[in-house]
């Protein structure tokens, strides 16, 4: 009987909460933080963002920072925009820390800001993400006295060095234990004591003397991360400046990839450029020196992606091997090469790039070795149309049976396919092609009775 009474009381409380104003019920889960954030203490989804339901058990569920932004602006979020945290705290619902922006701007900002949970285009582990730095204020006098007892006297350079712990894992910056479970950077705590205010999470403390353990008031400057990066670039300590002094660059890395494709070994390339073979392997597999795309706010490294063809060199106009062509020509006796240049033509009559083969009429028995890459479907479509007008077209194409153009313009177009049982070594290449090849033979359709 007691259990039944408790159940009635619980359902009565839930019913009363459903009739409560949603915003008042929302504020019951919000706690003010000394850093200025309004932290959500209610349910959290799998991505670490708070969730809030309006309308009972079958009502609509909101992400809390989006709900808070819509309540503050009095209008729904425009389509195509997301709500970003300027304080980098996922559970913050303070409308002053929220901004509506495009997903592109959000991604660019997440790549550039070192306090966000991404590094070089990938999501880091949850335990690797630095928690938002929130130092209580005002500080307990006993804690403050213990802090200053670990600061050394003024040196000849005007620095006051931190004498406490400075772990290597923190980059050499000092750490001070506020409690047995919480430690904070010593230079941030010193700057907060000098400024007599709480430092916001987006504010950083710069060392004007370049000594990371220094806590002298004249050497600490509170600013933004953009100002910190600009100062590091000016002094030559930023990774972008150090990268410019490296042995390799993007052009040399691309040259290494090209030479390896042409047959040079990894060990020879490593010796020629004064680096290790491991470095060359990482360059070839696009782990190091990957090209960058420049956005409106800086450079963003592209995630590693597989090439269209394995070990592709970027060249599309490979010349047909003469030995292979002579065998095929003995069967068909070609009259025109519809896709060639003066240097690699296989017939006396040929169409070059300047002739614009798509505007010409293909007649007789045609040989075609089209450029491999985007646009190959246009050549195959022209071959099918020419065959419908009485021509015979034999095309040497990659046997990429998983592509849409293969099924649409080869199989469905009625071409006869002859797979080549070995990989061709094209003229100018030092090794066989990394893909198989095939002959697609387009003949005129038989006349209907």
Q: What is the CATH number of the domain that holds 49?
A: 3.90.75.20
**What is the mean pLDDT for each group of 10 consecutive residues in the chain (449 residues)?**
50 56 89 87 84 82 92 89 87 91 78 48 43 68 92 92 82 87 88 86 86 92 86 72 72 86 86 90 83 41 39 64 92 92 88 82 92 85 91 92 90 92 86 88 76
What's the angle, vertex CA 61, arms to CA 57 and CA 66, rounded to 5? 155
- Whether residue 385 sits in one domain with residue 419: yes
Distance CA 89, CA 132 (A): 7
- Whether residue 29 sits in one domain with residue 124: yes
Distance CA 245, CA 249 (A): 9
Q: What is the pLDDT of residue 416?
A: 93
Q: What is the pLDDT of residue 310?
A: 40
Look at strands 365-368 and 392-398 and give their pairing: parallel
Distance CA 316, CA 325 (A): 18
Which tokens go with 332? 């068909």
Percent helix / strand / coil, the chain, rounded to 5: 35, 20, 45
- The DSSP letter of residue 211 is -
Predicted model pTM: 0.36
- Whether residue 214 sits in one domain with residue 112: no
- Whether residue 262 sits in one domain with residue 223: no
- In this structure, what is the dihedral angle of CA atoms 68, 71, 77, 82, given to the nearest 10 degrees? -10
- Whether residue 119 sits in one domain with residue 6: yes
Distance CA 166, CA 213 (A): 8
Number of helical H runs and strand E runs in the chain:
14, 22
Distance CA 403, CA 405 (A): 6
- Whether residue 173 sits in one domain with residue 105: no
- DSSP-assigned states of every residue in 415-436: -EEEE-SS----BT-SS--SS-
Which tokens go with 77? 């979020």
Q: Is residue 65 part of a domain?
A: yes
- The DSSP letter of residue 44 is B
Q: What is the pLDDT of residue 260?
A: 84
Q: Is residue 25 part of a domain?
A: yes
Which tokens go with 105? 């701007």
Residue 93 and residue 68 in contact, taking contact as beta carbons nearer than 8 Å:
yes
Q: Is residue 133 part of a domain?
A: no
Distance CA 166, CA 161 (A): 11
Q: Residue 110 in 3-state DSSP?
A: helix
> What backbone phi and psi angles, to 5 degrees, belong to 81?
-110, 155
Q: Which of 93, 128, 163 delimits the end of a domain? A: 128
* N residues, the chain: 449
Residue 117 and residue 89 in contact, taking contact as beta carbons nearer than 8 Å:
no
Question: Count of domains in the chain?
Answer: 4
Q: What is the pLDDT of residue 63?
A: 92
In terms of Cα–Cα distance, which of 196, 203, 69, 180 is closest to 134?
203
What's the angle, vertex CA 88, arms to CA 138 and CA 70, rounded to 5? 105
- Whether residue 50 sits in one domain with residue 16: yes
The whole domain housing 273 covers 249-301
Q: What is the pLDDT of residue 155?
A: 92
In terms of Cα–Cα distance, which of 280, 245, 287, 239 is closest to 259?
280
């Amino acid at each position: 009987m007691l259990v039944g009474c408790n159940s009635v009381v619980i359902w009565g409380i839930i019913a009363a909460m459903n009739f409560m104003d949603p915003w008042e019920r929302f504020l019951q889960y919000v706690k003010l933080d000394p850093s200025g954030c309004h932290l959500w203490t209610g349910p959290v989804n799998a991505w670490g963002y708070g969730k809030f339901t309006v309308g009972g058990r079958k009502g609509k569920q909101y992400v809390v920072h989006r709900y808070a932004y819509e309540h503050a602006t009095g209008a729904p979020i425009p389509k195509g925009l997301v709500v970003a945290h300027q304080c980098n705290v996922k559970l913050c619902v303070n409308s002053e820390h929220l901004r509506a922006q495009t997903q592109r701007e959000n991604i660019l900002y997440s790549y550039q800001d070192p306090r966000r949970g991404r590094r070089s285009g990938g999501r880091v582990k949850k335990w690797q993400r630095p928690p938002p730095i929130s130092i209580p204020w005002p500080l307990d006098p006993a804690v403050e006295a213990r802090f200053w007892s670990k600061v050394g006297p003024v040196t000849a350079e005007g620095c006051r060095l931190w004498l406490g712990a400075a772990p290597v894992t923190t980059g050499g910056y000092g750490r001070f234990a506020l409690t047995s479970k919480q430690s904070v950077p010593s230079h941030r705590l010193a700057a907060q004591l000098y400024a007599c205010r709480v430092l916001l999470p987006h504010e950083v403390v710069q060392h004007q003397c370049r000594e990371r353990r220094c806590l002298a008031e004249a050497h600490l400057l509170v600013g933004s991360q953009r100002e910190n990066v600009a100062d590091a670039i000016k002094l030559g300590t930023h990774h972008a400046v150090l990268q410019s002094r490296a042995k390799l660059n993007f052009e040399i890395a691309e040259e290494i990839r090209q030479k390896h494709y042409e047959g040079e070994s990894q060990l020879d390339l490593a010796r020629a450029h004064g680096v290790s073979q491991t470095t060359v392997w990482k360059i070839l597999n696009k782990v190091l020196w990957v090209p960058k795309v420049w956005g409106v706010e800086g450079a963003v490294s592209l995630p590693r992606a597989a090439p269209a063809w394995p070990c592709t060199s970027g060249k599309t106009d490979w010349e047909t091997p003469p030995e292979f062509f002579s065998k095929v020509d003995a069967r068909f006796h070609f009259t025109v090469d519809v896709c060639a240049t003066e240097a690699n033509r296989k017939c006396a009559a040929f169409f070059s790039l300047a002739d614009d083969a798509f505007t010409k009429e293909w007649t007789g028995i045609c040989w075609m070795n089209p450029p491999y890459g985007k646009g190959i479907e246009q050549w195959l479509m022209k071959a099918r149309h020419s065959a419908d007008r009485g021509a015979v077209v034999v095309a040497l194409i990659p046997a990429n049976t998983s592509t849409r153009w293969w099924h649409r313009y080869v199989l469905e177009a009625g071409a006869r396919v002859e797979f080549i049982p070995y990989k061709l070594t094209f003229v100018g290449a030092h090794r066989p092609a990394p893909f198989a090849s095939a002959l697609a033979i387009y003949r005129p359709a038989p006349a209907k009775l």
